C-alpha cells in the first residue's frame, strides 16, 4: 500500500528517472520528433558519433533511450536488418577514469549484451559468440580476481580494479581483444548494426579540458571499435567545447542542442503519465496537466525539478488534506502550497542588496551565466564577482563550478530553490522564456 494507490496510481507518476528504453517509455516521451529522427539518422547512417548538449533535466537521456528503443524495435520487427542493440545502462566518466579502465567497463557490458541478445541476433543470421564462450571469460580471473564483474551491475559508475601487480594484465588484454573480435564478426560494418552505448553526464568531469583529454585518449580506442555506436551527452556547454576539439573532429558529430520542451507540450507530459500510471477510473492526480505546466514554468522549464516538486506536493496532500476531490480543488491547493513554499524559501534567505542584484541579473538572463559575463554585472574583474556568486551558492540559490579551461562556459546556474525564491521575490510572476 503506497500513497500512490490512494490516489489511484500503480506507481508514482512523478518519478524523476529518465524515460526507459521500453514500450512504456516510448508512450511517455512527448514531442521531440525532430531531435529523435536526427539522432536516429546519425546512429544508423554516420561514421561519426552523435553528441547532445542540453541543460540538466531537459530530457537528454530520455531522448537517447527512446531513440535506441525505436531502432531496436525496427530490427526486432524485421523492418530493417540493421541490428542496433541498446545496452542496459549508460556509462558515466569520472575524474579517476582512464581510457583503459573505461574500455574495460565497456567490454564487460558488451559481453553481457552479447549474452542477453544472443538468441535474437543468432536467429537473424548474425555471427555471435556462444554464451558459453562469453561466460568463460566473465568467470575467468580477469573478473573474478579484479572483483570487477559485479560492481558494474549497479549503476555503471564504479569499477574496482585489482591491485595485485600483473594479476590480470594478460587476461584483460585478451578479454578486450576477444570482445573486439566478436564485435567485428557480428557487426562488420555500420549497416550490420552494433551496440548503442551512451556516455552520459559528461559535465561530471567538471572541466572541458578534462573531458577533452579523456575523450581524445579514447579516440583510437573505444570510440573507434567496430560495432559500437556511441552517443555522448553533456550539460553546461561541456559537450559543445569538447566536440570542437580538432582531434575529435573525425569522431564526433557536432552537438545537437536540446532545448526545453515547449510550455504547451508539457501538459501532455502529465496527461500521459496519468494515463500510464493510473489504474481504474477513480484517479485523482495531486498535480494534473495544468498544475504541472505551472510548476514547470515557475522552475524555468526543468522537467526533473518540476516532477520532484509534484512529488513533494503529493506527499503533503496525502498527509494534510482529504477534502479536495476534484482537479480544480487540488489545483487551487497546489497554487497555495507553492506560494507558501516560495515565501518560506525567500524569507529564509539573507543576502546583501548587491548579491540580490546579481541574482536578479542571472534570472533575467535566463538563469545561467558564465564567469566571463562579469562586465554585464558591473564588475571589472571576474574575481570581483566571485564573492557574490559564493554568497548565492551558500544560500543555495545558484550552483557554480569553475572551468579554468573555458571561462565562457555557463557554469553558474539558478537552482530550483533559486527559482522558488524568485517566484516570491517577483510577486509570483513566472520567469519569461528566453531562448539563448
Ligand X SMILES: Nc1ncnc2c1ncn2[C@@H]1O[C@H](COP(=O)(O)OP(=O)(O)O)[C@@H](O)[C@H]1O
Q: Which residues bind Mg ion (CB under 5 A)?
A: 61
Alpha helices in 278-347 (DSSP H): 289-298, 303-320, 327-347
59 versus 162: smaller Cβ distance to ligand X: 59
Closest distance between Mg ion and the C-beta of residue 18, in Å? 6
Contact predicate 87/197, CB 8 Å: yes
Closest distance between Mg ion and the C-beta of residue 109, in Å? 18
Residue 239's binding partner out of Mg ion, ligand X, none, with CB under 5 to 8 Å set by partner kind: none
DSSP 161: -
Closest distance between ligand X and the C-beta of residue 62, in Å? 3
258 versus 362: smaller Cβ distance to ligand X: 258
64 versus 430: smaller Cβ distance to Mg ion: 64
* R_g (Cα) of the chain, nearest Å: 24
Closest distance between ligand X and the C-beta of residue 404, in Å? 25
Residue 57's binding partner out of Mg ion, ligand X, none, with CB under 5 to 8 Å set by partner kind: ligand X
Contact predicate 227/254, CB 8 Å: no
Give Cα separations from 95 to 45, 92, 385, 407 (angstroms): 32, 10, 28, 20
Please tell me the distance from the alpha carbon of residue 144 to that of residue 142, in angstroms, as a whole number: 6
Closest distance between ligand X and the C-beta of residue 383, in Å? 31
The dihedrals phi and psi of 229, each to the nearest 5 degrees, come to -105, 115
Residue 30's binding partner out of ligand X, Mg ion, none, with CB under 5 to 8 Å set by partner kind: ligand X
Residue 101's binding partner out of Mg ion, ligand X, none, with CB under 5 to 8 Å set by partner kind: none
Closest distance between ligand X and the C-beta of residue 55, in Å? 7
Contact predicate 355/391, CB 8 Å: yes
Binding site for ligand X (CB under 6 A): 16-19, 28-32, 54, 56-62, 261, 269, 303-304, 307
Please tell me the distance from the alpha carbon of residue 157 to that of residue 203, in angstroms, as a whole number: 14
User: Residue for cell digits 566473465?
Assistant: 138
Please tell me the distance from the alpha carbon of residue 65 to that of residue 105, in angstroms, as a whole number: 20
Residue 195 pairs in a beta bridge with: 85, 228
59 versus 148: smaller Cβ distance to ligand X: 59
Element (H, E) at 105: helix 99-123
227 versus 291: smaller Cβ distance to ligand X: 291
Closest distance between ligand X and the C-beta of residue 256, in Å? 12
Please tell me the distance from the alpha carbon of residue 301 to that of residue 414, in angstroms, as a whole number: 12
Closest-approach residue to ligand X (CB): 59
298 versus 303: smaller Cβ distance to ligand X: 303
60 versus 410: smaller Cβ distance to ligand X: 60
Amino acid at each position: 500500500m503506497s500513497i500512490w494507490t490512494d490516489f489511484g496510481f500503480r506507481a508514482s507518476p512523478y518519478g524523476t528517472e529518465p524515460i526507459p528504453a521500453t514500450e512504456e517509455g516510448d508512450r511517455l516521451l512527448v514531442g521531440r520528433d525532430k531531435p529523435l529522427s536526427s539522432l536516429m539518422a546519425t546512429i544508423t547512417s554516420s561514421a561519426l558519433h552523435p553528441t547532445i548538449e542540453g541543460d540538466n533535466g531537459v530530457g537528454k537521456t530520455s531522448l537517447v533511450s527512446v531513440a535506441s528503443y525505436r531502432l531496436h524495435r525496427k530490427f526486432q520487427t524485421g523492418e530493417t536488418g540493421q541490428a542496433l542493440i541498446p545496452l542496459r545502462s549508460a556509462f558515466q566518466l569520472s575524474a579517476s577514469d582512464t581510457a583503459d579502465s573505461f574500455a574495460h567497463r565497456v567490454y564487460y557490458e558488451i559481453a553481457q549484451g552479447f549474452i542477453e541478445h544472443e538468441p535474437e541476433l543468432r536467429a537473424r543470421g548474425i555471427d555471435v559468440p556462444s554464451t558459453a564462450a562469453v561466460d568463460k571469460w566473465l568467470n575467468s580471473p580477469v573478473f573474478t580476481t579484479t572483483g570487477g564483474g559485479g560492481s558494474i551491475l549497479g549503476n555503471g559508475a564504479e569499477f574496482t580494479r585489482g591491485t595485485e601487480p600483473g594479476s590480470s594484465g594478460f587476461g584483460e588484454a585478451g578479454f578486450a581483444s576477444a570482445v573486439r573480435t566478436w564485435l567485428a564478426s557480428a557487426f562488420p560494418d555500420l549497416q550490420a548494426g552494433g551496440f548503442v552505448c551512451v556516455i552520459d553526464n559528461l559535465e561530471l568531469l567538471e572541466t572541458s579540458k578534462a573531458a577533452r583529454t579523456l575523450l581524445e585518449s579514447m579516440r583510437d580506442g573505444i570510440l573507434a571499435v567496430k560495432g559500437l555506436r556511441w552517443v555522448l551527452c553533456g550539460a553546461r556547454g561541456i559537450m559543445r567545447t569538447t566536440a570542437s576539439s580538432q582531434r575529435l573532429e573525425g569522431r564526433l558529430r557536432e552537438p545537437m542542442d536540446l532545448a526545453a520542451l515547449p510550455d504547451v507540450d508539457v501538459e501532455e507530459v502529465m496527461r500521459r503519465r496519468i494515463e500510464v500510471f493510473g489504474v481504474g477510473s477513480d484517479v485523482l492526480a495531486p498535480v494534473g496537466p495544468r498544475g504541472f505546466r505551472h510548476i514547470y514554468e515557475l522552475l524555468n522549464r526543468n522537467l526533473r525539478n518540476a516532477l520532484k516538486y509534484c512529488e513533494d506536493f503529493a506527499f503533503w496532500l496525502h498527509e494534510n488534506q482529504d477534502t479536495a476531490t476534484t482537479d480544480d480543488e487540488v489545483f487551487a491547493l497546489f497554487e497555495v502550497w507553492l506560494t507558501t513554499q516560495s515565501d518560506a524559501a525567500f524569507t529564509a534567505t539573507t543576502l546583501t542588496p548587491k548579491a540580490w542584484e546579481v541574482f536578479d541579473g542571472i534570472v533575467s538572463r535566463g538563469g545561467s551565466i558564465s564567469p566571463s559575463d562579469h562586465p554585464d554585472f558591473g564588475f571589472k574583474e571576474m574575481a570581483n564577482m566571485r564573492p557574490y556568486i559564493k554568497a548565492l551558492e551558500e544560500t543555495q540559490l545558484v550552483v557554480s563550478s569553475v572551468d579554468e579551461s573555458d571561462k565562457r562556459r555557463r557554469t553558474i546556474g539558478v537552482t530550483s530553490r533559486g527559482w522558488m525564491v524568485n517566484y516570491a521575490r517577483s510577486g509570483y510572476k513566472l520567469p519569461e522564456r528566453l531562448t539563448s
